[in-house]
């Protein structure tokens, strides 16, 4: 775990310098099936109500950033690690991020370049003040992914297929749009409620509840249940050490659900539209992104869970043809005159 945390910390510095199966069926029947006293059934009912309240409470910025950072670490671990170099010291730990040495290596120059392009785009978005962090995952798949709070990653395989900066800007803008539109919140909020209810069923002795948590140790489950019991409503402080087990449960299941199904088709197409506007507003030719997406072959290693490339490209061409909804639309200009911009030499690190 330490090398991943160190690498993500280095990535931030580099950028600145540039389980749910038990929910099936009728909950009332499940409650009635709990082998416990009437008092425990009442407690279970109260716990389930507490879990439902998590689904109606707003996700605060602190919660977004905390869950986003944890999800980002998951993405890094599951996708070959970050293409970034660090010199953390002999024991592999970082005592003070301000004194962390960052070498002038090809990987770090690539990360700086990506952060320059990404942060220029993010500055034009509706959430310019987020601590945006961009990085390259050492994976041959052609994909890009984001996490709440401003984390955006592209894969080495994707960079190997890109031949102009406008295409790269479009990919980054699409992921920036997922963050600004808070698309992940739909998955995260449901995950949070379902995992809370899983704990409630496990606490009441319901065997399917315990089965859904079988990958976690008894001590971990006990700690998570204690955190659930201590929650009295309102914002959930996942920064608190007492809630670390809940943070782990929520983030693990969020990643699992995303990898299983991804975002909804409409969310992907809407992020294409928002991302294309952001790309043009920043001064890039929109055809760079459209041609890149439309030219990718179909298959699970090319933008997994996204609609087919030709469908996405056709929708964006239709958007461009409408010339915007008014004089202030980015598409109200002649976008054919915008540049695609040659890639910088730093991209050679990913080739």
pLDDT digits (tens, 9 = 90+) for 74-132: 999 999 999 998 765 545 555 565 666 678 899 999 999 999 999 999 999 999 999 99
**3-state secondary structure (DSSP) of residue 106:** helix
Q: How many folded domains does the chain comprise? A: 1
187 assigned to some structural domain: no
Q: Residue 208: what pLDDT?
A: 78
Residue with tokens 């790269």: 168
184 assigned to some structural domain: no
73 assigned to some structural domain: yes
- Measured distance CA(315)–CA(276) in Å, rounded: 11
pTM for this entry:
0.87
158 assigned to some structural domain: yes
Phi and psi, residue 245, nearest 5°: -65, -40
121 assigned to some structural domain: yes
Nearest Cα to Cα of residue 130 among 112, 113, 109, 147: 147
274 assigned to some structural domain: no
- Measured distance CA(243)–CA(239) in Å, rounded: 7
Q: Mean pLDDT for the chain?
A: 86
140 assigned to some structural domain: yes
**3-state secondary structure (DSSP) of residue 128:** coil
244 assigned to some structural domain: no
Over residues 223-237, the pLDDT tens digits come to: 999 999 999 888 889
Q: Residue 18: what pLDDT?
A: 63
Give 296 or 23, the one with higher predicted confidence.
296
Write the CB contacts of 154 (distance below 8 Å, at least 6 apart in sequence): 114, 134, 135, 136, 137, 143, 144, 168, 171, 172, 175
Residue 184 has pLDDT above 50, yes or no: yes
Residue span of the structural domain in which 85 resides: 3-14+60-168
- Measured distance CA(133)–CA(111) in Å, rounded: 10
Q: Could you count the other beta carbons within 10 Å of the beta carbon of residue 339?
A: 12
Residue 31 has pLDDT above 60, yes or no: no
Over residues 157-173, the pLDDT tens digits come to: 999 999 999 999 999 99
């Amino acid at each position: 775990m330490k090398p991943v945390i160190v690498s993500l910390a280095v990535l931030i510095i580099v950028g600145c310098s540039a389980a749910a199966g038990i929910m099936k069926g009728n909950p009332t029947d499940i409650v009635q099936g709990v082998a416990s006293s009437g008092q425990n059934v009442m407690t279970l009912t109260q716990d389930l109500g507490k879990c439902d309240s998590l689904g109606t409470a707003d996700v605060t910025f602190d919660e977004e950033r905390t869950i986003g950072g944890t999800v980002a670490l998951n993405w890094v671990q599951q996708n070959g690690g970050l293409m970034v170099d660090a010199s953390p010291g002999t024991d592999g730990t970082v005592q003070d991020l301000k004194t962390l040495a960052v070498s002038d290596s090809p990987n770090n120059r690539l990360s700086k370049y990506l952060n320059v392009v990404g942060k220029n785009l993010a500055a034009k978005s509706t959430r310019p003040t987020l601590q945006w962090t961009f990085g390259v995952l050492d994976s041959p798949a052609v994909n890009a992914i984001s996490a709440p709070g401003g984390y955006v990653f592209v894969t080495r395989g994707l960079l190997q297929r890109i031949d102009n900066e406008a295409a790269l800007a479009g990919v980054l803008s699409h992921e920036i749009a997922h963050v600004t539109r808070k698309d992940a919140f739909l998955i995260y909020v449901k995950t949070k409620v379902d995992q809370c209810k899983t704990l409630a069923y496990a606490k009441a002795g319901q065997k399917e509840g315990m089965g859904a948590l079988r990958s976690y140790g008894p001590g971990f489950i006990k700690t998570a249940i204690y955190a659930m019991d201590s929650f009295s409503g309102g914002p959930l402080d996942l920064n608190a050490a007492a809630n670390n087990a809940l943070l782990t449960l929520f983030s693990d299941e969020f990643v699992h659900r995303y990898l299983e199904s991804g975002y909804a088709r409409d969310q992907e197409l809407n992020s294409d539209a928002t991302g294309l506007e952001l790309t043009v507003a920043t001064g890039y030719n929109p055809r760079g992104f459209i041609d890149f997406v439309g030219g990718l072959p179909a298959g699970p290693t090319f933008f997994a869970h996204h609609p087919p490339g030709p469908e996405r490209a056709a929708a964006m061409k239709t958007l461009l043809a409408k010339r915007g909804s008014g004089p202030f639309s980015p598409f109200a200009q002649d976008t054919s005159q915008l540049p695609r911009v040659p890639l910088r030499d730093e991209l050679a690190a990913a080739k």
